[in-house]
Amino acid sequence: MNSTVFLPGVATRDHEVTVPIDRDDPARGQISVFARELAVDDSLPALVYFQGGPGKPGPRMLMDWIPEALKRYRVFLFDERGTGRSHKVDRTTPERIDAHYLSHLRPPDVAADAEAMRQHLGLEQWDVLGNSFGAACAGAYLSYFPEGIRRAHLVGCVPEPHMEVERFNRLNFQLLAARTKELFAEVPWIEDRIAEVADHLDNHDERMPTGERLSATRFRFCGVLLGEEGDFGALANLLEMPFTTHRGEKRLRGDFLAQLGAIISLETMPLWGVIHETVMARPGHPVQWNADKVYREEFADLPLLGNQFLRTHFEEDPALIPFSEEVDKVHRMDTLKAQAQDVSANEVPTAALLFKQDLFLPYELTRKSATRVGNLKLWVHDEWFHDGLWTHGPEVVNTLFDMLEP
């Protein structure tokens, strides 16, 4: 079966708990957060999973690692606040598009929600597994509420109490530029094709299936495919034949625009753009559109863009336009909690997998941060990309689980 909603042979139980939007100001209101429990043996210990993104709920499709985990655990798939059945936030919920609300969708709040869920379930402790943004949430949990965790398993990210946003963004752009050069060396025709499409968009009014004009800058965001396994092939497939001719005029094909839209639109997960950079904020250090600043200062000539969000995303993507003003306020906030607290004295057994080839979270930074996490066992993979849990899930979880077995 390929669904966690309908999964014969596995007991599924849905859990919800009500929590404050802002724990420092409960009068601001409440939301509910959701987790789906999967179990084949109720005597097994509990494992809570935090999904990557940000903006993705707990998996509804059965990721390959889940059957492996069910041999050892009851698995709780957690919908981080703002996603899935945890008060999802998107353009259809304008009442939730508020700077204060959006500023409380970050890892410290997700971690507090998970701790509230643990207490609601009556569990003495549970193990945690987090991937990418989910690992940031698991790392926040490890630092703010360690008493709730028996063992922690992190993929792609470790707790970051002092993330320097400018260094992060500059390294990200540098890695993207290097990977783009590798793409052009491996698929030589694609460089001219990308330039041809971008030039066409600078000089013609092309409309996405959703009606908005497509700019060259937004087209370049298809480079987000770089840094995932099979990235060169995916981009080659997309760009093989983007053009057609209508009445003697060169136009972009409808199927190309539809396929591109599936990559560059944030309709299904707007919080990816809304939260992404603010995860790195901390008291006294607002992010202030730093990726946009670094891009314009040094990297505006990149032929492809990736996992960085610019002001133009919030001007051009219909899924993000309603968020523009409120996200700008969040970017300027200098009182946001740090993603994590100091974990140098951590006593919770922790295992982490980091990727040397990671384009989304630079290994140079995450490796250094890992040295500051107490009681951490580190596994570094030389070849896998940031999507390692998606592409090699059984091996990832079984290795991480085994690393912490007595």
Residue 397 falls inside a structural domain: yes
Which of 331, 357, 377 marks a domain boundary?
Answer: 331
CB count, 10 Å around CB of 29?
Answer: 10
Q: How confident is the model at residue 323 (pLDDT cuts 50, 70, 90)?
A: very high
Q: 345 and 325 share a domain?
A: no
Q: What is the 3-state secondary structure of 299-321?
A: HCCCCCCCCCCCCCHHHHCCCCH
Count of C-beta atoms within a 10 Å radius of residue 323 = 25
Confidence of residue 406 (pLDDT cuts 50, 70, 90): confident
261 and 132 inside one domain:
no
Task: Confirm whether 4 is domain-assigned.
Answer: no
Task: Count Cβ atoms below 10 Å from residue 6 Cβ, excluding itself.
Answer: 11
Asked if residue 304 belongs to a domain, the reply is yes
Question: Do residues 131 and 231 share a domain?
Answer: no
Q: Are residues 344 and 239 in the same domain?
A: no
Domain final residue pick, 280, 298, 331? 331
- Domain with 248 in it: 165-331
pLDDT tens-place string over residues 17-73: 999 999 999 999 999 999 999 999 999 999 999 999 999 999 999 999 999 999 999
Three-state DSSP at 14 gives strand
Contact yes or no for 152/138 (Cβ under 8 A): yes
Alpha carbon distances (Å) from 18 to 21, 82, 83, 190: 9, 14, 15, 50
Please tell me the distance from the alpha carbon of residue 192 to that of residue 72, in angstroms, as a whole number: 51
What total of structural domains would you count in the chain? 2
What lies within 8 Å, CB to CB, of 268 at 6+ separation is none
Last residue of a domain, one of 284, 300, 331: 331
Residues pairing with 213 in the sheet: 207
In eight-state DSSP terms, residue 164 is -
> Could you tell me the pTM of the whole model?
0.96
Section 254-280 average pLDDT: 97
**Can you give the length of the chain in residues?**
406
In a domain, 58, yes or no: yes
CA–CA separation, 122 and 120 (whole Å):
5
Confirm whether 186 is domain-assigned. Answer: yes
Query: Does 121 share its domain with 181?
Result: no
Report yes or no on 2 lying in a domain: no
Whether 149 and 250 share a structural domain: no
